[in-house]
Every structure is written in C-alpha cells, then in structure tokens.
Amino acid sequence: MLGFRLNDEQEGFRLAVRSFAEKALAPRVEELERTETFPRDLFAELGRLGYLGVGYPEAYGGSGGDMVMRCLLIEEIARVNCGFAAALLAHVGLGCIPIFRFGTEEQKRHYLVPAIRGEKLGSFGLSEPNSGSDAASIRTTAERRGDHYVINGTKMFITNGNIADYCLVAAYTDRARRGGGISMFIVDTTTPGFTVSRKLRKTGHHTSETAALAFDDMQVPVAALLGGSEGGFQQVTGTLEGGRITHAARSVGVSQAALEAALRYAQERVQFGQPIAKFQAIKFKLARMAAEVEIARTMMWRAAWLFDQGHCMREAAMAKLFASEVAQRVTWEAVQIFGGYGYITEFPVERFWRDARLMTITEGTTEIQLTIIAREIGL
C-alpha cells in the first residue's frame, strides 16, 4: 500500500477478482443459495488463476502479494456472495496459514501446495459443542501410542467440514496444561474414524457448507502433528489473529453490497413525486452507511498491513469488531430503505441482512474482541 491508497499490483488484483465474482459467481448465486452447496469448480478455477495463493511465496505455488491482497480477495467475493467468501476464508486463512507458518517442509509440500492450487480444500477444527469462545476448554484428545496418535472427540460449526480434503484438528495432548497442552494435527478426511455427523442448516451463508464432526479412535501418524511438536496453542491464537482480519474483509464486502443496492434503489424508487434519495431521512442514512463502510475498510487494510509486519493482535480485534458491527447496521438500513421489498427474497438485501447477522458471532464474538482490546490497552 502507498499511504492509504492501493498500489498498482493490489488495485489490479482487486479489479481482476471483482471481474471473476461478477462474471463467474454472480449468475450462480441464487442456485447455490437455494441448494446450499459450495461450488467446487469455481474454487478450483480460483486456484488455477492463482488467486488462492495471494500472500504466499512462489516457492509453494503462491502468487506473492500480501495480507492486504488476501483481504481484497475476500472482500470482493463477499460483495457478490458472502457464503462463498466464508468458505474461501476458512480455506486460504484458517486452512492454510497454520501450515505455512508452523508446518514442516513435508506438510507444506503435501497440503499447502495443492491447497494453493485449488486441488485440496481445507478446514479448521477448533470449536466444539461445549467450547466456543473459550478455546482452551476443548475436550478432544490425542493420545500418543507408538508411531501414531489416537484422536477422540467432536467438533462443531466447522466450515467446509463435510466437503474438505483435510482438517486441522485441535486436540489436547496434555490435559494437565490448560491451553498449552493443545496440539494441532493435519488430518485427511478419508481417515478411518473421521465422521461427518451432520451438515448444519443455517439462517444465512447458504453457499458455505458447515458441519459437525466426530472422531472415534481415529489413528493418525506422528507426521500429522503440525510442526512436528506438541503444545501448539500459539498455532491456534496466531491463526485466529489473521482470521479476524479476513473476517473483517468479509464484513466490508457484504456492507459494500448492501450500500450499493440501497443507493441504486433510493435513486430509482419514486414516492411523493421524487426519488426517495432526495429526502433527507434517506440521504442521511446513505451518507452514514457510506462513511461507516469506508472507515471499516480503512481499519481492515491497516490491520492487514500490520499483520505482514509481524503482530497486530489489538488492531485485528478492532477491525473485526468494528467491521462486523458496521455490517449489522448497514444491511439493516438497506432493508429499511427498500421497505417491504427488502423483506422478500426477490431482492438480495434480505440475504445481505441474513448473512451479516453471523459476523458478530463467528471468528470470535463481539464480546471476545472487546475482551482482547481491553487486555491490549492494559485493562
């Protein structure tokens, strides 16, 4: 980035992704939402185009670039379909960042390289039925037995869980060390004992497939241990830090979509002899929506830039907090501007509204982000 402006490479990438989203994804959105399916062919095409490799080095098949470009990918896709963006976020962020940052060379070659090419789809297994915000309270265990580990437990709300080729599974290898005794394993989803309990039906994000998983005496080789050593809770927290930033990008994307839709409609809808955009009540809504979306985008870009410098725990939490709450307000106001038409499925703003509701819950709730920010400012 150059100051507060995208450089030529970043701007060119943004426009290329927008073109892909509008030409390849947009015509299929209604069908994908209705059938609640993830378009694996479009995922593979993104891999062939090199878009999944932004922020990763060429040595692993990446296309270079930085975290800002990864956020641009998610924002532009979310502007067209938030569910598809959620699945991509779970893959390029949660499913790849841990392997890139902490994995062994062999793990990078076997999983990261094909993931960047769009040949393998990843997922991240942390949340459980009784463990959400308190990640250290997970109950899944991994017991070392000779040259393998035996994993038992369950996972909940796992994006891509039922369609992924591999899953990064968090499990306790040492129950005596709360948090610190958690390790990460890269598990092929074809492994005996790996079960998709059920596909979860959701209020929104229908193009993103979400599942509950179960592990019953699932044996994985010692080589599946991420990084080759136990006690990887920092692998979890380090991954979530980046995930919060790309989540903010998803919130910005759906907010931008709602703003654009409301702006068009307000200029076309005539009441009392003039477009409703002429009325102060409506134009002030749109002006505030535009301001908040731009502020959220700026915060997200700054957090992404700081991520590439090495650490941004506070800024990542702030970006996620603000962008997710902006998504609530902007999509709500968009529905209000559309009136009755905003509440029927013929117009996409009702989908934007449903999709946005998840933003303050997933990738760390609003309350968790406030807790992190309070800690980071010394409280």
What is the residue-wise DSSP string for 158-225?
A: EETTTT-SEEEEEEES-TTSTTTTEEEEEEETTSTTEEEEEEEP-SS-TTS-EEEEEEEEEEEEGGGB
Catalytic residue selected from 143, 363, 367, 376:
363
> Given the DSSP bridges, would you call strands 148-159 and 141-145 parallel, antiparallel or unpaired?
antiparallel
Distance CA 116, CA 366 (A): 31
The three-class DSSP label of residue 131 is strand
C-alpha pair distances (Å), 201 with each of 130, 153, 189, 198, 365: 19, 22, 21, 9, 20
Distance CA 310, CA 133 (A): 24
The one-letter amino acid at 368: I
φ and ψ at residue 142, rounded to 5 degrees: -130, 115
Distance CA 259, CA 205 (A): 19
C-alpha pair distances (Å), 235 with each of 64, 69, 295, 299: 22, 23, 30, 24
Q: Which of 222, 329, 337 is nearest to 281 (CA)?
A: 337
User: Computed from CA positions of residues 321, 324, 330, 336, in that sequence, does the dihedral angle turn out positive or negative?
Assistant: negative
Distance CA 148, CA 97 (A): 24
φ and ψ at residue 299, rounded to 5 degrees: -65, -40
Residue 65: count other Cβ atoms within 10 Å of its Cβ.
21
Burial letters for 301-332: b for 16+ Cβ neighbours within 10 Å, e otherwise?
bbbbbbbeeeebbbbbbbbbbbbbbbbbbbbb
Exposed, middle or buried: residue 130 (CB in 10 Å: 0-12, 13-18, 19+)? exposed
- Is 363 one of the catalytic residues? yes
Active site residues: 363
